A and B are shown apart, each in its own frame.
Chain A
Amino acid sequence: MQLTVEDLPNGVTKAVLVGRLDIDGAAAVDMRFNVLAGAKRALVVDLSKVDFVASMGLRTLMSAARSIASKGGRMALAGPQDHVLKVLSTSGVQDIIPVRASVDDAIAVVTA
C-alpha cells in the first residue's frame, strides 16, 4: 500500500492511495494518514488505484474524516472502482464521507 500526498491550490490536499487497503495496507498507512488528517482542512483521497477495501481499511478512512470534521474541515473520496464503491455503500461509509467519481468532483465538494 502506497500513499503519496500532493498539495493543490486553494488549500486542498490530495492523497493518492495505491494497492490493497486490507488489514496489512491499513496498518501500513494508518499513522501517516492520521498525521495528514490532523494537519489538513480539505482532503481529497484518490481511491482509483485501490484494489481492495474492507472494514479495517474503512476504519482508516473514517477516523481521518472524523478528525478533519472535528476541526471544521472536509474530506471526500474520489474515483473508487465498482467493487470498492460497493463496500463503501454497503457499509454506510458513503453516507458519512462524500464519494465522487472524479478527483475534480471531490475537490468541488471539499472547497464548497
Chain B
Amino acid sequence: MNKKFKYIGKSIPTFDAEEKVTGKISYTGDLKFDGMLHAKLILSTIVHGKVKKLETSAAEGIDESVKIFSYKDTPQNLFNAHIFLAEMQDIKDQKIFTDHVKFHGDMIGAIVAKDSYTAKLAAKKVKVQYEELPTELDPEKIISENKKEYIAFSKELSFGNLDDAFKKADKIIEDKIYTPKQHHAAMEPHLCIAVPNESNDGITIYTPCQVVFQVQLVIAEALSIDLNKVRVIKTKMGGSFGGKGQPVLEPAAAFLAIKTGKPIKLEMDRTESIIGTRTRNAVIGTIKTAVTKDGKILARQADLITDTGAYYTNATAVIMAMAKKYYRLYNIESQSYKGTSVLTNTPVGGACRGYGSPQIHAITEINIENTARRIGMDPVELRLKNLLKPFEEIPLPGPSIGDARAIDCLKRGAELFEWNKKYNSSKPTGRFLTGYGLACSTHGNGYHGAYPDFITMKLSLTAEGKLYLNSAIHDLGCGTVTSMQQIVAEVFDIHPYEVIAIEGDTGINHYDSAGTQASRVTYVCGNCAKLTADKLKDIIIKASSEIFKVPVNKISFTDGNILVENRAISFSDFYKLYFEKHSTPPEALYKYESKSNPAVYSVNFAEVEVDTFTGLVKVKEIVAVHDVGQAINTGFVEGQIHGGIHMGLGYALSEEIEIDKHGIVKSLNFSRYHIFNAQDMPTIKIDLIEKGENHGPYGAKSVGEIAAVASAPAVINAVNDALGTNITTYPATPERIIKAINNPESD
C-alpha cells in the first residue's frame, strides 16, 4: 500500500468538535419552532392484552391545551419499521398506535400539550383499562411446543458431510450460550420533531436518524401519504448504536403534526427508551464442535433461537446476518447452521451495533475456547490452525471475504498482550484470581450480496473555493462527515475543513439505498466520495488545460491550489474562470454501486481479576487488534474501538434488560440497567492491521460495528480461565459468578 498520504490516516478532530465541547451545538432537543406543541406517549403497562377503555377526562382537565390521540384516531395500516427499501418482503405487523398491546411499552396513544411538563402530567392521568391476554415469554418453550404463530422465521444451511466428520472427531465439545436483550444507552433518548408544511399538506421531520429515506418510506406507508409529501432531515445525533435505525417515533410524530396542524416535539425519557424502542435481539445458541486431538476442527453445528420481541421487524435479517459471520471466520469443511426467530411479548428487537455478530461470536468464541481447553491446546494455537486466510474460499455463496487478516490480528494481539508469557505463568491464589482469554470476530462491509447497495453523491466547487459534498450521509457521532472531508481532501490536496459535507436530507440529497447501517458508510459511501472527487478532479484538470492552454499532465494539485505548470491558481480564482467559460460551477455527480463485501476482523485479548468473595470482575487490560484495511482517521478508529470495547464489557458483565416472569421490564433506568462505567474501564492497547482492501477508499474498510464484538467473549473466557468455571450466560453478574464458583459443573 502507498502510505504516503497527507490527510488519510491522520487524527483530525471532527469538524464540529469545538461546537460540541463548548455546548454551542443544537441537538434535536434544542430545536424550537413557532407554535410547537409537546407530545408524550401513552405506553402499555401490561404485557399482552386489548385496550378496553381510555379514561381521559382527568388528563384533559389539566389544561385546555391537552389533546389526546390514540389508536381510535390513527390509520390502521400495517408497516414494518425495519423496511428500508420498498421491495423488501418482511412481514408488516406494526401500527402507529394500537389497541392490541403486545409488550410492556407498546404504543397506545399520545398526549399533546403546550409544554412537555403538562404533556407528561396529563399522560400520567390517563387511565387505561385492559383485558389481559395470555403471554409468551420463553423462546425455548415456543420452539419445544411448536407454537407456529409465534415462530417468525427459520433458516437452515448445511455444507459438507457432518455425520462423517462428527464420527471422525476425537472430541465433540458442546455448549449452550445465552445472550440477553441489550439497550443501546445512547446519551440522547429517542425524540423527533414533525413540522407540517404551510404550503401543502406535507410534513418535514427533524430526527437524529440513521436512514433518512427509510424514515420517509415508513412514514409514507404508515400514514398512506405520498413519499414526496414527506421530507426527512437528519439532525445532530446524540448517539444511536443502531437504536435509532428503525423509525420508532417518527410515524407517530408525523401523524400528530398533521392532525393538529402544529409542529410536534415527541420525546422519550430513559425508561421509555429502554422499554419502548428497540433492543439487541436475545439469542440462545447451542453449538457442537468436532475436533481432532491435534486441533483441526472438522465440523460444527449451531442451532440458534433469536427472540425478536413483540413485532417482526428484523426477525429475518438478524438470522441471516449471524449465518454470514458464522461461516466467515474459520475454515471448517462441514458446517451446519439453523436459526429460528420467535415472537414474544417482550421489547422489540432491532439493529444494535454488530447486528448479530456479538451474539454469534459469543457462541462460537466461548465454545472454541472450551474446545482448546478440552483437548489441552493453547487457544491461540487452536485458532491459528483454523482461521480463514486472505481470499480463502468459503462454502457459503456470496461475496469473497477479501484480504482477510484474521491471522495477522491474532498473531499481533498475542505479541502485544504477551499471551505466551501470561498463558504459561503460574497464577496467584487467594481472594482475587487472575484469568486470561481471547476472542476472534468478523463483520461485513455493507449490503452487497444481500440488498441493492448504492449511493449518489454530488461534489461542487463553490465561489469561495470550497468543495461542497451533497450526499445522504448520517454522522452518528463517530466522525462520518470528517472522514468524507478527509477522503475528498486527499484527492485535491486541500485541508479537510475546506470540504463542506452536508448530511441526510431527503429534500436535497440524491437517493441512497441503505443509509448508515451495516458498516457500509466508510467502505461504500466513502468510496463513492473518493470516486466523485476523482471525477471532479478530472473535470478541473481538463478545464484548466483548456483555460490555460497547457497539456493535462502539467496540471496538479498542491496545498489547496491548482498548480498549472509552476503557477498556483486558487480554487476561487479557478471557479471564476470556469464560470465565465461554462456558465455553471465545476461539479461532478456520481452514482456508485458497491462491488464487493469483504470481511473485517478483530481479535481481543482480556486480562481479568475476579473477586471470588463478591463475584465482581475487574477487567485489567484489553488488547484489540483490528483488520481495517486502512484507517481514514486513526483517532476515530481508536475512538470506535474504545467505545466498542466499552459496549462489549457491559454486554459481558453487567447489561441486561431484565424481564420478570410476567413479562414486565424491571431494568427501567440506569440504577437497574448497569452500564459499564468510566472508572471500570481497563487499560486498552490497540493495533491496526492496514493492508488495504479492494474497492475501499484508499483501502479502508469498516470498524464501527466489529469494535463492539470480541471484548465480550474474551472477558467471559478470561473469567472462566480464572475460576475454572464454564459460565455461558451473559452478563456474568456477580450473582452468576458466585453461583458458578459454588457449583462449577453447572452454568
A and B bound? no
What is the interface of chain A, defined by CB distance below 8 A to chain B? none
